[in-house]
Structure 1
Amino acid sequence: MPLNRGMMALAVAGLAFAALAQQSGSPAPPQGPEPNASSASPRRQVDESALRYFASQGDTRRVDAEIARLRALYPDWSPPADLSQLVGGGGVVNDPEVDRLWGLYTENKFSEARAAIAARQAADPQWKPPPDLVTALDVAEARKRLVNASDNSQWRTVLSIATETPSLLTCANVDSLWRVAEAFAKTDQTGRTRDVYTYILTNCANPAERLGTLQKALTLLDEAQIADLLKYERKSGDYPDDFSAIRDELARRRVARASTDPKLTASAEDLAVVERLAESGKEPGNALLLGYYSYHHKNPEKALSWFKTALDRGGSEKAAEGYALSLRDLNRLAEAEAFAFEWRDKAPENMQVYLDVATALLSQDPPPRLDPKVIVRVIPAVTKARSAGAAQALGWYSYNTGQISTAREWFEEALSWKADDEPSAYGVAITSQRLNDRARFNAIVSQWRSRSQRIADLADGIVRDRTAQATPQPAPPSPVEPQISSPRAVAPAPELPAPPPERPRRIEETRVAAYDRLVVQQERQLQGKRPAARRGASRQACTTTRDPGSLSAPAALNLGWCLMEMNRPLEAAAAFDHAFTLGSPAQREDAAYGKSLAYLRKDLTGKAAVAAAQAPQTSARRTELSAAILAQRALAAYRDGRWPDVILALGERARVVPEQNDLMLLRGWSYFKLGRYEDAARIFRAVQQTGYSDEAGAGLSAIMEITGQVRQY
């Protein structure tokens, strides 16, 4: 049998009391019958003032609720058959002032009602407000405080208010019950949350509120707890439940988990539910879910169909990502590349998919005959993303179509982006061999012989079939074969202001020359940075590969500096890291300094900055490392065409050390690229006055050609 209103309040209040007792360590107060329940005292006069007021207002909803409340409190009481008796008085003195107080209450003017009660009592000390009105005001004000605490995530305050005002916790205040349930969940008491929801489903009759309770539970409870709550579904009676939407959502969740984990398999029943939802709905979400489930469970054809449905319904980046991946898995690579290209800039994941598809397209053996426009659009995307894998694919495509020099440049570019990429190093070795460049071939062999058997075999003259990356003797490109540009000839698309109009080729060559010269200069500066006490140490310490993990801190430091002299910075970084772990404070400082230089040598400025901060450095070293890191960032931004970032990095560096002329030239050319000709001219004139007349003059001439303003520059 359902509990009456008073017992319902005490039942849920007991939950709150018990939870708070656990938190405070104090015992929970005993539960018992409601103090004013009819079983605790003889029959008393029923306060019908609220019922009379609601009847006078014609508010049938509140009349019905008040009749239910009074019946729960006073089982022997029956409402008058004719409610008009209440409006006319019906033997009870009708007090207009009480009606006005109830009016303030129904309008949520609680403070005004309190003030009016106080004023009436001051004027008439014998007068007492109706008890139900006082209780109603108490509950309403508590509800307001509870809602405010809940909205501000003050969960323990919510539980405290609920404990102090158990009359809030009834079916008449389901929203308050929901908030208490959430407060339990947010304080890691999901068992109490389930208890509150169970109370609602056991005792409350409103179908919308019962369904809402399950919907709330979906966000706070696990699947097993929700399954337990579903057992309370009422399938008959005046107001039957319909919890089918909850069961559908649970099925959808199970399919969602399996859609990202190939090891999980959704049941046929759950898949049928989601397919029904996808076919009957107009939103892309369920079609997208089924697309990824099919894709990760090796059914790309079905996945493609669902992704197409999702796209047709407005599905955006994620649907496009899945569609391109499905085309790739179906080996429809040309179609996949064209589609993925259109979506490449929508999200980072879409760009990665485009690069993956382009890599697969270029890596086919034998190489396909591609439309030149495909190559033209692949190259800027690869350069902008600095994708070593895609650059390597361009290298092999160039190699297999007879463009050996271009192939080597792409392999070199890939290796500069990913220094430990053995396939790219192998590409550099084999193309250097084909180009008869013994110096570069010997250098790459020296660096990789101990780490790559096939590079060692290549040096030893052993002919092997290329398995992981076949290297057949390429034929000269046919007239229909696209010529691939060198990576240095490709500039990524600018991200901010549009570039100035087309300029003569010699202007661009002058700008690139300034960058190339500065790169060489920066590399020389980094190679020269080493503590004086370490210079001249024997190179025998690192002629063979050694594991630094077995060395003492001084030996690991010595190995690190030796590797730096051998231009093996990533191996040096590992040695310095080991020395940092074991060493004394002075050795840790030296190791952090060395590791920073090693990462700078490979243009890993983020890692260099982290390493520099690992141990205190002298003022001179701090300045030196800060300047080098900011210079490298400026160079990287310049290379990528991020002109505003060049200016920002150089501005930061100028606050650390005076700006050198070559870096000022980069600043000038960055202003030039942004169309800020006045700023560019100011920089070029300043450089020109220090003796760099040719380079600065070229910049001024470029501005003059663009603007046509001879006198100004």
Structure 2
Amino acid sequence: MRLLFLSGLLLASAAFAEEARSVPDAVELAALYYYAEHGEQDRVEAEAARLRLKYPGFVVPADIHAPAAGQADESALWTLYEADDFAGIEAEIGRRRAQDPAWAPSEDFSAKLARRKLRAEMTAAAARKDWAGVVAAAGGLDPESETEVDLVWMLIDAAAETGAKTVAETAYRGLLSREGAARLPDGQLVATLRKAVRDLPAEDLRRKLAGLGLPAAEIEPIERDLARREVAAFNADEARQAPLAEATLARLRTAPETADLSLLGWHDLKTGAPKTAEQWFRTALAGGRDAENAKGLYLSLAAQDRQDEAYGVAEAYLQELAGDPQFLMNALSVRFARPGEREIDAGTVTAYSNAILAAESAGHAEILAWYAYNSRQYEAARAWFGKALDWESAPVRVKGLALSLLRLGDKAGSAALEEEYRGVYPAVWEEIGRIRPSKRNRAATAETPAKAAADTGYLADFKAKRYGACVEKLAALETRGPLSADAQLIRGWCHLGLDRLSEARRAFEAALGNARTQPDATYGAALTLLRGRLTDEAEAIVGLYPLAEKREREVRAEIYWQRARSAFDHKQYQRVLDALNARMALAAEPPDLSQLRGWAHYHLGNRREARAVFERLDMHLHDAAAARGIAATAR
């Protein structure tokens, strides 16, 4: 029993001792009182933090700022100071002076209060992005001696935002030139140097870096930042074409971050290495969806003539690319300008439509209108041709709207459109009338298969390219009765072979009324019209009678070429580029058209773009025309 009593007594004593140790004793509080007595507020706060870690629940004694003998009591001011209650401090000072006009806060308190206010003012200005306010508030800082380095960093950032280069340079010089005991710790030096990558010339920064004697491990991230800056500057400078030094690129290729992948991708794409650029962008996109990397991947694939894959990228990143409607329109229009393939996804159509509306692009509205028309969506075609006309009038758009109204049977709308535009574009209705077969022509092309089978001599002449004999036999056959649609089709090809364009056109138009011969007749008529430089009429006929995809691309590529040539002759250089860009979506651009592109840029004042075109031509052709273009753009 006595042992149990003693045991309990020992446990109680231990618990009491443990409880006593949960509160710092006078010895441990001595440092706190010492720092407070000497006005070293930073050390007061640090010591209080240490005691709280050791003794959870510790509260700073209220009397630590009690004045020593002969000193005024400033404990109330220090309490307000610790709470950043500057209005309360002013009120307390006012109250004390009302009681004693000769009283003033101690120099120590006044100095520390000024610093506290400076930090608060700079921090508040930075939070509301008032960069000029940060610079103004920091007017009293001395970068050569400032102990609170983060305030100087705040000043540097604000100077960068406002373009105050002299302020930033002075701040950097003050921080980086300190020697001996005043030298910044290595960690603060590295942080300062990484900021300087943004603001100081690379050569100046490397000289400073060499003189600081930092360990190699600390220098590496700074060199990497410099490499990023150099690659980004190269990518943004259209005039620079030669690849950067391998040593610079190698810094980013080793364990690259996502931003490095993008930088490397744009560098390789610009310097003619789309295959490696593709890999950089694919890797970057694997880490997250991003508009710029999606653009880079699209352009990398397009540069490799992998248009279908490029279009797939645009379709996969519709939401991300919506912020750049011009890019999205150009990327998607390639598919909309190629009728006859699989139906386009409704989401893609919506994205293309929204981009067109955002950019108010008449050219792309026209492309979408023809897509709707060729897909037999005549209501949509009418709406988009109308929108294109609202933004920019052109005869082909009036023609498209007229054809859409005819398909819809909207006689009132057709009459109103003709009344509005016949005086402006009189040829439009003449063209529509010519490409619509009359009842007499449709009757004349009724099938007479027995007669066609009975006399096939003209067909043998056509296959042997004896075009004159082919025409003569068809003329003799016609004296016995109307020719079949098949015979009219062969007559058209034979006349075209003889370069008799008017006769070829009439024969092809006669064959348009038969469903079986219509596709070949449309193709033949379009080629005939294009050979006669009747560009708008050729476009109208392929708009009215859709072609197979391959033929459609061939005909439209020639249409855009003729438009580009005509626009150049009329000094309409922006229209030259519009036509060439539309053609490029259908077929590769041959050197002669690239020459036209270069000179169109030149006449528009786009010297950099023009020079880039001529330099690319010179790399492949080394001809005099490209050399003349390079010489002209150098002036």
Measured against the shorter chain, the TM-score band is: 0.3 to 0.5
Higher helix share: 2
TM-score (norm 2): 0.46
Larger Rg: 2
